[in-house]
A and B are shown apart, each in its own frame.
Chain A
Amino acid sequence: MISFVLRRLASAVPTLFIVVTISFFLMRFAPGGPFNLERPLPPQTMANLMRTYQLDQPLWRQYLTYITNAVTGDFGPSYIYKDNTVAELIAKGLPYSLELGFYALLVALIGGVLAGTIAALRQNSILDFAIMSVSTIGVTVPNFVVGPVLTLIFAVILAWLPAGSWGDGSLRFLILPMIALALPQLAVFARLTRGSMIEALHTDHIRTARAYGLPARTVVVTHAMRAALLPVVSYLAPCAAALLTGSAVIETIFTIPGVGRYFVLGAINRDYTLVMGTVVLVAIFVIVFNLVVDILYGLLDPRVRHD
């Protein structure tokens, strides 16, 4: 098991390296730079800036410098948040995104699996139809609509909850952004669970379990559910990585100081280092969660157990 984890982590290194390389050059080949503002800077200032940030060096040298620094955890200074390094920005924003994303993940997973299971067990009933319709809405309504609508209803009209901001970090502040963040994923989980549950209920070994007089609960919970969770677990990796690293949309709408906004702000402003930092962050999350999911999968399914 430990050797499996180590082997997987080792094979993640080249992946991470390639991801960094691709993003680095992709970013640099885009026209414009971080200091190409609407009002052009005087050439002298520009040259100074370029020198300060070593942007006047040849690209390959910049790349080497970046890689060697990045290995030591130094992701360079941000170009738009001038007083901060990228590492500081991420360290500041990440806890907010993590906390919000964690709750959203929990809600999406539990809610989605429950709803999907109920729909599968009552296949083609009104309840099934209702759950599937709601989850279709969840998939189809963009979260930048869900956010303002929730705010309008619960914050403005009913005035039950605050409209935005992190506030003191208490649950009251988190509920609305959490729901907006969780809803689409909840819908995906529900659809996945329903599909795999229906399939699991049709397998031969479920027939065996029923033929041996096991009560419906045991059949569903111990036998069908475990098999049905396999595809759900697979989806967990990309979903967790996406939720925990923050959503640009939700963080903007609810004015939450997380890291999600940095992607977009960084990319639009050509803040190379900030974008690279977030790319590395997300790639690490994706890789780590893929590993976690593989281990989970092995625990659930003895056929792919890693020794």
Chain B
Amino acid sequence: MAADSILTVRNLKVAFDTPDGVVEAVKGIDLDVKSGETLAIVGESGSGKSQTMMGIMGLLAKNGRAIGSASYRGKELIGLPMKELNTVRGAKITMIFQEPMTSLDPLYTIGRQIAEPIVHHRGGNFKQAKARALELLELVGIPDPARRINSYPHELSGGQRQRVMIAMALANEPDILIADEPTTALDVTIQAQILDLLKSLQEKFGMAVVLITHDLGIVRHFANRVAVMRRGEVVETGTTIDIFERPQADYTRMLLAAEPSGRKASPPDSAPIILEGRNVCVDYHTGGGLFSRASGTFRAVDDITLRLKQGQTIGIVGESGSGKSTLGRALLKLLPASGHIRFETRDISHFGRSTMRPLRHELQLVFQDPYGSLSPRQTVGEIITEGLYVHAPQLSKVERDRRAIEALKEVGLDPAARNRYPHEFSGGQRQRIAIARAMILKPKVVILDEPTSALDRSVQGQVIELLRGLQTSHDLSYIFISHDLSVIKAMSDYVIVMKNGKIVEEGETDAIFDAPKQDYTKTLMNAVYTA
């Protein structure tokens, strides 16, 4: 079709053999990658966007196979013998993966890993290749590259590792660079740096970039063209402007609308303070085995003071390691912390586990990972009524069941779900179950620790709707912890920005978002790409 298409994919199918039969992950798609452009492939989890590229590159798991056609400059890649395919991969088409932590071999220095494909594709010895690796490391902005070249991956941060991956990808000046969710595992500020780096390098080397992502903000800022995938099919293809301004497919429109929206009004000034923390500090002890004396303390939460009013939502935003989750647990007395914590009229600073127990049903917690927070061996009914078992042991079985039904209805799940097991539900449904587990106890304060971060955008919106609805109907107070500014904005009426265990800035949501005062907050805001 397109004359300048350097990678032409026609009717590509990817199928996996599973014990339950053949599962088709990609169902016959067409794509064209043109020289020098950035093509974004957008889709939610399970859309087959990654498997498409894995299929083309011959990287499918053993039980997977690709059928159809994918030709690179006239050379058919599907079904190509491994030896010939290896002259293309790593030289003409290279790849960056999502997980910078595991994509590099932990047992070799980064210099050697960058040099390896150079030696393999261009010949020469490792010494010459190392010299090139050094140039590349400098190019991708690794500080002190002469020293870093002999580092092992575990000695680098996530962002630096992703830079090393990029250096590796550029080593042989490829025609096409496939970036599979290159920044999903990174903090927002790092994400911005990596994407900017990719863009500048693309301009310099003139290669095409295939950007696989679920994040429409990134797409809008970096892609020339977009292919929207859903359940193994391409729903829509077009230029970035067309897709964002004039989306044709319902699905694309839904995705664009899924960006969390709406605002929450602040509670009246007269609202009573329900949970208060003053000068809260949490220290972690590091090291210190039986015989080693080299132990130290690490202050994860450093002198934080916050007041949560009835009906209020305080959003706590920060990057990984900022101490925001630790703070949440400390406020619930799930971690030893110093400082004062007051719940309603009681000072709970010195409450132990047993004195806290009767209060637990009023102070609840919802976790990030909907897969990890539900015990895989209990039914949904057992999971959500577990709290009743502690706090209302006098309830009859029938009554407990009735409450479970009520709670499930409240979070928008079929009550029949209570006889099933968590693994039978999708991420969004599981998060609803986790919310039901907290709601069944009729809490007053709920701490929401990244409850939407593991979910697809479209599902995120629904969970946020649900949480907001529950808040109004039960007059709940939330502490909402997240790294995702758009979610924070939609949920909270007051925002605290945290970094390294300290509060950087706090204030009304509008004030923080419209007129951030601190540099760090500004960096954070600028790093976000809005769709």
Q: 8 Å CB contacts to A: which residues of B96-121?
A: 97, 99, 102-109, 116-117, 120-121
Tell whether, in the assembled complex, residue B94 and residue A212 are in contact, meaning their CB atoms are under 8 Å apart.
yes
Interchain Cβ contacts under 8 Å between A and B, 30 examples: A123-B62, A203-B102, A204-B99, A204-B103, A205-B103, A205-B104, A205-B105, A205-B106, A207-B59, A208-B105, A210-B89, A212-B90, A212-B95, A212-B116, A212-B117, A212-B120, A213-B86, A213-B87, A213-B89, A213-B91, A214-B86, A215-B86, A215-B120, A216-B82, A222-B108, A223-B105, A300-B107, A301-B106, A302-B109, A302-B154
Q: Given the complex of chains A and B, what is the CA–CA distance between A227 and B83 in angstroms?
A: 24
In the complex, which of the residues B62, B102, B121, B152 contacts A213, with contact meaning CB atoms closer than 8 Å?
B121
Q: What 1/0 flags go to B33-65 for Cβ under 8 Å of A?
A: 000000000000000000000000111011000
- From B97, B99, B102, B154, contact of A303 by CB (8 A): B154
Complex Cα–Cα for A265 and B58 (A): 61
Are A11 and B94 in contact (CB-based, < 8 A)? no
Contact with B along A186-218 (1 / 0, CB 8 A): 000000000000000011110111111111101
**Bound Cα distance from A301 to B152, whole angstroms:** 10
Chain B residues proximal to chain A, CB less than 8 Å: 57-59, 61-62, 82-83, 85-91, 94-95, 97, 99, 102-109, 116-117, 120-121, 152, 154, 165, 168, 291
B105 touches A213 (CB 8 A): no
Q: Which residue of B lies closest to A224 (CB)?
A: B105
Contact A212 B105 (CB under 8 A): no
Pairwise interchain contact B88-A213, C-beta atoms closer than 8 A: yes
Q: Return the 9 tightest CB-CB contacts between A and B, nearest first.
A: A213-B90, A212-B90, A213-B86, A204-B102, A213-B89, A205-B105, A212-B117, A302-B152, A211-B95
Residue numbers of A with Cβ under 8 A of B are 11, 123, 202-205, 207-216, 218, 222-223, 226-227, 300-303
CB of A301 to closest CB in B, whole Å: 6
Give the interface SS of chain A, mostly helix, strand, loop or mixed.
helix
Distance of A123 Cα from B61 Cα, bound (Å)? 13
Within 8 Å by CB of B103, from A208, A215, A301, lies: A208
For residue B375, give the distance in angstroms from its CB to the closest CB of chain A. Answer: 26
B residues near A301, Cβ cutoff 8 Å? 106-107
Q: In the complex, what distance in Å separates the CA atom of A212 from the CA atom of B85?
A: 10
Q: Report A225 CB to chain B, min CB distance, Å.
A: 10
Candidate in A212, A214, A301 with the most chain B CB atoms within 10 angstroms: A212
Min CB–CB distance B69 → chain A (angstroms): 20
List the A residue with the shortest CB-CB distance to B180.
A211
Of chain B, the residue at the smallest CB distance from A215 is B86
In the complex, which of the residues A123, A210, A303 contacts B59, with contact meaning CB atoms closer than 8 Å? Answer: A210
Could you say which of A205, A209, A215 contacts B102, with CB atoms under 8 Å apart? A205
A213 touches B85 (CB 8 A): yes
Distance from A124 Cβ to chain B, minimum over Cβ atoms (Å) = 9
- Report the nearest A residue to B95, measured CB to CB: A211
CB distance from B120 to the nearest CB of A (A): 6
- Complex interface: chain B residues within 8 A of A209 (CB): 105, 116
Shortest Cβ gap from B143 to chain A (Å): 20
A205 to B110, alpha carbons, bound, how many Å? 12
Residues A211 and B90 in contact in the complex (CB < 8 Å), given A218-B120, A303-B152, A303-B154 = yes
Task: Decide if B89 touches A212 in the complex (CB within 8 Å).
Answer: yes
Q: Using Cβ atoms and an 8 Å threshold, which residues of chain A touch B108? A: 222-223
* A214-B119 Cα distance, complex, nearest whole Å: 10
A213 to B118, CA, bound (A): 10
Is A211 a contact of B94 with CB atoms below 8 Å?
Answer: yes
A226 contact set on B, CB distance < 8 A: 107
Assembled-state Cα–Cα distance A194/B239 (Å): 49
When chains A and B are docked, how far (Å) is the Cα of A27 from the Cα of B117? 62
- Closest A-chain residue to B62, C-beta based? A123
Given contacts A213-B88, A302-B154, contact A204 B97 (CB under 8 A): yes
Minimum CB–CB distance from A307 to chain B (whole Å) comes to 13
Contact residues in A for B121 (Cβ distance below 8 Å): 213
Nearest residue (CB) in B for A302 is B152
CB distance from B67 to the nearest CB of A (A): 20
CA distance A223 to B104 in the complex (A): 10
Would you give the shortest CB distance from B85 to chain A, in whole angstroms? 7
Task: Note all chain B residues with C-beta closer than 8 A to A211.
Answer: 57, 59, 89-90, 94-95, 97
Could you tell me the distance between the alpha carbons of A123 and B57 in the complex, rounded to whole angstroms? 22
Chain B residues with CB under 8 A of A204: 97, 99, 102-103
Expressed in whole angstroms, the minimum distance between the Cβ of B364 and any Cβ of chain A is: 36
Cβ-closest chain B residue relative to A303: B154
Q: Please, which residue of chain B has its CB at the minimum distance from the CB of A208? A: B103
- The docked-state distance in angstroms from the alpha carbon of A270 to that of B291 is 37
